[in-house]
C-alpha cells in the first residue's frame, strides 16, 4: 500500500483538490485531514536561527566557537 502526502488548502466549499495522479483515478481512498497549526508560522530566518542554535555548539571545548557560529549564520542566510 502506497501513501501520499500533500500540502493542500481546503476550498471555501470544503473541496480538497489533489494533484493529478493517474494511479488514483476511480479508486477508493482513506483520507486523514491534519490541520496545520496557524501559530507555528516559521519564516526562513527563524528556521536558520534554529539550525544555527542547534548545530553551532556540537563540538565541546572548541576555542573558535564564535567564528563557527558566524560562518554558519552567513552560510544559511
DSSP structure string for the chain: -----------TTS--PPP--GGGTT--------PPPTT----HHHHHHHHHHHHTT-STT-TTHHHHHHHHHHHT-
In a domain, 7, yes or no: no
Q: What pLDDT sits at residue 12?
A: 92
19-42 confidence digits (pLDDT tens) = 877 678 888 889 899 888 776 555
In a domain, 36, yes or no: yes
In a domain, 6, yes or no: no
In a domain, 51, yes or no: yes
Look at 5 and 71; give whichever has higher pLDDT: 5
Mean pLDDT of 38-62: 66
Its domain, for residue 52, covers: 22-75
In a domain, 30, yes or no: yes
In a domain, 16, yes or no: no
Tally of structural domains, the chain:
1
In a domain, 60, yes or no: yes
On whether the CB atoms of residues 77 and 48 are closer than 8 A, the answer is yes
Amino acid at each position: 500500500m502506497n501513501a501520499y502526502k500533500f500540502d493542500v488548502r481546503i476550498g471555501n466549499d470544503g473541496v480538497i483538490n489533489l494533484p493529478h495522479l493517474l494511479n488514483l483515478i476511480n479508486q477508493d481512498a482513506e483520507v486523514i485531514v491534519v490541520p496545520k497549526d496557524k501559530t507555528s508560522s516559521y519564516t526562513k530566518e527563524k528556521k536558520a536561527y534554529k539550525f544555527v542554535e542547534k548545530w553551532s555548539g556540537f563540538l565541546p571545548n572548541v576555542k573558535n566557537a564564535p567564528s563557527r557560529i558566524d560562518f554558519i549564520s552567513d552560510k544559511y542566510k
